[in-house]
Amino acid sequence: MHAYDLPDARGHFGPYGGSFVSETLTHAIDELRAAYERCRRDPAFQREFEHELKHFVGRPSPIYHAQRLSRELGGAQILLKREDLNHTGAHKINNVIGQALLARRMGKPRVIAETGAGQHGVATATICARYGLECVVYMGSEDVKRQSPNVYRMKLLGATVVPVESGSRTLKDALNEALRDWVTNVEHTFYIIGTVAGPHPYPMMVRDFQSVIGRECLQQMPEMLAELGLPGCGGPHPDVVVACVGGGSNAMGIFHPYIPHPQVRLVGVEAAGAGLDSGRHAASLQRGAPGVLHGNRTYVLQNADGQITETHSISAGLDYPGVGPEHAWLKDSGRAEYVGVTDEEALAAFHRLARTEGIIPALESSHAVAWAIKTAPTMRPDQTILVNLSGRGDKDIGTVADLSGADFYCRPSCRGQSVKVAGGGAA
């Protein structure tokens, strides 16, 4: 695997990826590809990106040894890459900074974005405030209702949030609407996509920006292993790297620098929802089939007629019927494996990490934590599982409180009284 150098010049990862866009967007995509190629090789651009990551995001994010959890499980040591500590609370900001810098270099004063749970919208609104760019965020009207705190956050930051009423009024509909806006306003508008999806060069570009996660791990692991007195896996590496997969950007970010180290197992966790065979999940790689979605060829959840099927996950950030094309390739080539974790397992992991380590993870990240909890006891205590903790769970406490019963919020002294938490239903 030493020669891993994908995608090719036209954005192909084996049979996946590429660029399937209407003629009206061909020029915009060509322009973007040329601009990114220049910036990618421009040390001044890379320096500015690194400066922003350090001073605005707070990088590098630490690797943390979940000692109490590991001891309870009695197997492999669980290590957490703390993307939850980033400004705005997740990995999404890394990519958004890269694309916003590119928008500035290209002289585009207006930025558009799509968002589902609202995390990408919040990150985009944040960086537009930081750089003085106009910001319009498309969001399914169903999601606007479910994620009202994030909608308000975007408005506080000066963004315009446009509710989308078409289709199932969720993420894929917001993405379609953002593409439509881009076609109309392409001269002065930059489209910031939130994951490793979309037409080439987006999957490659978002991966490159997110790869800072894995590059930091390569640098931090020797010290962590030395501290724990552990041998590492064929060098100063973890035995397993695991991440949740919605569109796949936090997973690609931590996987990519490890691809040339074949002894390191790469595991992507998809949302199995009510179960992989329940018809209510978002496991595109495990239950989908190759097709074209949002500008690239990848695994898509679709019926026999090629129509996109409804997805479900407890976690809005994983609730997407497609997946980045590079994951499709990593799956087919066998370099990475993809598994499912159910809503119930993710929720249990959410509570367990909070209670044993004092870290409330995002429900998305809880899927990766759940897999580590299941797998650690099957491994030796001198082995390590590195979990990408993609985000923090603040945004999810309303969802969790609803599922756990409202008195979950109460101190013992208020039990029995009906205490309703403000915004509990929609947070």
Q: Which stretch binds ligand PLP (CB under 6 A): 134-142, 155-163, 243-251, 371-379?
A: 243-251
Q: Which stretch binds ligand PLP (CB under 6 A): 64-72, 96-104, 170-178, 248-256?
A: 248-256
What is the footprint of ligand PLP within residues 278-297 (CB under 6 A)?
none
The yes-or-no answer on residue 390 being catalytic is yes
Write down the least CB distance from residue 325 to ligand PLP, Å: 13
Nearer to ligand PLP, 39 or 363 (CB): 363
Q: How far apart are the first and last CA of the chain?
A: 44
Q: Among 52, 83, 114, 216, which one carries the catalytic annotation?
A: 114
Nearer to ligand PLP, 90 or 151 (CB): 90
- Phi and psi dihedrals of 187, rounded to 5? -60, -40
List beta partners, residue 114: 138
- When binding is defined by CB under 6 A, the residue of 147, 249, 296, 366 that contacts ligand PLP is 249
- When binding is defined by CB under 6 A, the residue of 63, 90, 113, 266 that contacts ligand PLP is 90
DSSP string, 180-243: HHHHHHTTTEEE--SSS-SSTTHHHHHHHHHTHHHHHHHHHHHHHHHHHT---SSSS--SEEEE
Q: Which residue is nearest to ligand PLP (CB)?
A: 391
The yes-or-no answer on residue 108 being catalytic is no
Judged by CB under 6 A, does residue 28 bind ligand PLP?
A: no
Interface with ligand PLP (CB under 6 A), residue total 19
- When binding is defined by CB under 6 A, the residue of 59, 92, 172, 327 that contacts ligand PLP is 92
- The alpha carbon of residue 376 and the mean position of all alpha carbons in its chain are separated, in whole angstroms, by 23
Tokens of 385: 């599982």
- Nearby residues of 149 by Cβ (< 8 Å), 6 or more positions away: 118, 395, 398, 423, 426, 427
- When binding is defined by CB under 6 A, the residue of 319, 345, 364, 396 that contacts ligand PLP is 364
* Closest listed residue to residue 208, CA positions, set 155, 148, 249: 249
* 372-375 LR contacts (CB < 8 Å, sep 24+): 372/78, 372/242, 373/69, 373/73, 373/78, 373/349, 374/345, 375/75, 375/76, 375/240, 375/242
CB distance 230 to 57 below 8 Å: no
- How far is the C-alpha of 255 from the C-alpha of 192, rounded, in Å? 22
Judged by CB under 6 A, does residue 140 bind ligand PLP?
A: no
Judged by CB under 6 A, does residue 317 bind ligand PLP?
A: yes
Judged by CB under 6 A, does residue 266 bind ligand PLP?
A: no
Write down the least CB distance from residue 243 to ligand PLP, Å: 7
* Closest listed residue to residue 327, CA positions, set 233, 206, 172: 206
Write down the least CB distance from residue 75 to ligand PLP, Å: 25
Nearer to ligand PLP, 143 or 364 (CB): 364
Judged by CB under 6 A, does residue 328 bind ligand PLP?
A: no
The yes-or-no answer on residue 114 being catalytic is yes
Q: Which stretch binds ligand PLP (CB under 6 A): 42-50, 156-164, 238-246, 257-265?
A: 238-246
Write down the least CB distance from residue 281 to ligand PLP, Å: 15
Q: Among 81, 92, 108, 172, which one carries the catalytic annotation?
A: 92
Write down the least CB distance from residue 92 to ligand PLP, Å: 6
Nearer to ligand PLP, 225 or 301 (CB): 301
- When binding is defined by CB under 6 A, the residue of 246, 321, 325, 340 that contacts ligand PLP is 246
Tokens of 270: 């998809």
* Closest listed residue to residue 336, CA positions, set 227, 411, 255: 255
Judged by CB under 6 A, does residue 114 bind ligand PLP?
A: no
CB distance 331 to 41 below 8 Å: no
What is the footprint of ligand PLP within residues 372-401 (CB under 6 A)?
390-391
Residue 376 neighbours by CB distance under 10 Å: 24
Write down the least CB distance from residue 277 to ligand PLP, Å: 23
Element (H, E) at 388: strand 384-389
CB distance 271 to 283 below 8 Å: yes
Active-site amino acid positions: 92, 114, 390
Residues near ligand PLP (CB under 6 A) are 90, 92, 119, 195, 244-251, 317-318, 362, 364-365, 390-391
